[in-house]
Amino acid sequence: MPQPQRPPEGASGSRLIRDTPRFTRADGNATIGAVPDEWSVDPNNRGETSNRPAADLDRALFRLAERQHGVVARRQLLELGIGSRTIEYRVERARLHPVHRGVYAVGHRNLSTRGRWMAALLAHGPGAILSHRSAGSLWGLLRSARTIIDVTADRRWSRAGVELHRSTLPADEFTVREGIPVTTTPRTLLDLASVLTRQQLERAFEEAEVRRLLDPLSIDDLLTRHPRCHGAMSLRGVLAGGRVGSTVTRSELEDRFLALLDRHGLPRPQVNTGIEVRGRWMECDCVWRSHRLIVELDSREFHGTGAAFERDRARDRVLQASGWRVVRVTWRQLDDDGDRVAADLRELMAIPP
């Protein structure tokens, strides 16, 4: 069964994602119902296993499961030439583990988050797309302990553990990431606007900017296309304020940073204290006077204006010229690489581990 070919990059004319291949509905069906090219299978097979060698069938099965984060659909097994009685036998022998009706984990039950997402999509058939909070997590726009999986599909029924959003998306509003059909970043932000608070939405938008996942103009295009979509008003409100500002408060950053110091046994600094340099009074976030060390806590990794960026760097230069060492730490660094931040500060203060 030949795989549909994606159009050349940029052929769709969409500006919603930079440097991300377009993904058509046919591609979605191919991903969800993929069959290796080298197999010539009987689509009418519903009972008997193919007379091909069992080892070849197993190899094809494992290749398929590897592409799909450890899960396969019953219809895919039938297309591979594995008959229904063999499927039942493998379930009895714990070689296939049911996840949803007609969807199995291959070899073991311990699925990754991506495996659970893929299983949910397979359970809802060709054309199902990961969306809303689940899509936000896949894109890295938010962190969520939510176990319910968000799926957008044109279906009337839903499986356990899945929140179904019934819709048929235009081809330029979904793509594929890590082998998983998912809404594009702008479409994901539009969907998130209907389920997140304003502050949470701003954080997600900021992450998209920092990761350079989108062109802001494409958001306007999407809002023009869906002017009355639930969440459109919230998203317009974020855009109306210009670039997304700080969504982590100063106190939150300080609490995270001080907790990091405590966990690693590092001395606490003076917080929000002033330093006189060249006749100027400068307030600094965290100061260790005996070590001539200053840490500035940046709530954003992407500055809203060039002027703010230049002003911060000019200030740092004056402090460094006066004998202070200035280190800037972002909230994402605290969350994602806190141990490395602590190790660097320990070295700067010459404190033995």
Taking the C-alpha atoms of residue 19 and residue 332, their distance in angstroms, rounded to an integer, is 24
- Largest pairwise CA distance in the chain: 88
Task: State whether residue 186 is helix, strand or coil.
Answer: helix
Three-state DSSP state, 247: coil
Which amino acid is residue 132, in one-letter code? H
Domain shared by 154 and 178, yes or no: yes
Q: What pLDDT was estimated at residue 242?
A: 54
Are 294 and 271 found together in one domain? Answer: yes
Write out the two tokens for 345: 């500060």
pLDDT at 121: 96
Residues 172 and 183 in one domain: yes
- Identify whether residues 133 and 148 lie together within a single domain: yes
Residues in Cβ contact with 30 at an 8 Å cutoff, skipping those fewer than 6 apart: 3, 4
- Residue 28's pLDDT is 44
C-alpha to C-alpha distance for 185 and 215, rounded to whole angstroms: 10
Write down the pLDDT at residue 215.
52
Q: With contact defined as beta carbons under 8 Å apart, do 165 and 156 qualify?
A: no
The predicted structure's pLDDT at residue 8? 40
The C-alpha atoms of residue 336 and residue 104 are separated, in whole angstroms, by 33
- Specify if 266 maps to a domain: yes
Residue 9 belongs to some domain of the structure? no
Dihedral sign from CA coordinates of 187, 32, 177, 161: positive
Q: What is the CATH number of the domain that holds 316?
A: 3.40.960.10
Question: Are residues 262 and 219 located together in one domain of the fold?
Answer: no
Q: Same domain for 188 and 238?
A: yes
Residue 84, in any domain of the structure: no
Give a yes or no: residue 4 inside a domain.
no
Enclosing domain of residue 257: 250-348
Q: Are residues 263 and 303 in the same domain?
A: yes
Give the domain-ending residue among 225, 247, 269: 247
Choose the final residue of a domain: 189, 215, 247.
247
| Dist CA 125 CA 123 (whole Å) | 6
The pTM is what? 0.58
Conformational region of residue 36, where left means phi above 0, alpha means psi within -120 to 50, and beta covers everything else: beta
Task: Give the end of a domain, one of 247, 266, 301.
Answer: 247
Mark whether 224 and 273 lie in a shared domain: no
pLDDT at 5: 46
If one counts the domains in the chain, the total is 2
The one-digit pLDDT tens for each residue of the chain (353 residues) are: 444 444 343 333 333 333 334 444 444 444 444 433 333 333 444 444 556 677 788 888 999 999 999 999 999 999 988 889 999 999 999 999 999 999 999 988 889 999 999 999 999 999 999 999 999 999 999 887 789 999 999 988 889 899 999 999 998 899 999 999 999 999 999 999 999 988 888 888 877 876 667 554 478 788 888 888 888 888 888 777 654 444 444 567 788 899 999 999 999 998 888 888 887 888 888 999 999 999 998 765 444 445 556 777 888 899 999 999 999 998 778 888 899 999 999 999 999 98
Kindly provide the residue ranges of all beta strands, DSSP E only, lying in 125-247, ordered along the sequence. Answer: 129-130, 149-153, 162-166, 174-177, 180-183
* Residue indicated by tokens 């984990």: 105
User: For residue 165, is it within any domain?
Assistant: yes
| 119 in any annotated domain | no
234 and 133 in a single domain? The answer is yes
341 and 239 in a single domain? The answer is no
**186 and 226 co-located in one domain:** yes
The whole-number pLDDT of residue 297 equals 86
Please indicate, yes or no, if residue 102 is contained in any of the structural domains: no
The verdict on 282 and 206 lying in the same domain is no
